[in-house]
């Protein structure tokens, strides 16, 4: 039995993403985004339980030009 951690997870996921952004000026912006995974990523849900990707991102952006 020579399994790696990656063998417990599927390699493909379908997700829905949504977010908002605000420009404070021409050079500075702030964005937030939430990614909601629709596909179960666990390859063995009967042993390890169900698992889905859920991600929240906050981006602070500075434009150089």
DSSP helix/strand/coil, 53: coil
All structural domains of the chain with their residue ranges: 5-62
Q: Does the pTM exceed 0.75?
A: no
Which residue carries 């997700």 as its tokens? 15
The answer to whether 15 and 38 are in contact (CB under 8 A) is yes
CA distance 24 to 57: 18
Q: What is the pLDDT of residues 1-57, one digit of tens each?
A: 567 777 778 888 899 999 999 999 999 999 999 999 999 888 877 777 888 899 999
Query: What is the pLDDT, as a whole number, of residue 1?
Result: 56
- The CB density around residue 11, as the number of other CB atoms within 10 Å, is 7
CA distance 60 to 65: 16
């Amino acid at each position: 039995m020579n399994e790696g951690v990656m063998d417990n997870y599927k390699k493909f996921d379908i997700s829905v993403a949504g977010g908002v952004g605000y420009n404070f000026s021409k050079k500075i912006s702030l964005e937030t985004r939430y990614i909601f995974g629709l596909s179960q990523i666990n390859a063995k849900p009967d042993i390890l339980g169900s698992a889905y990707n859920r991600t929240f991102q906050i981006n602070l952006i500075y434009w150089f030009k």
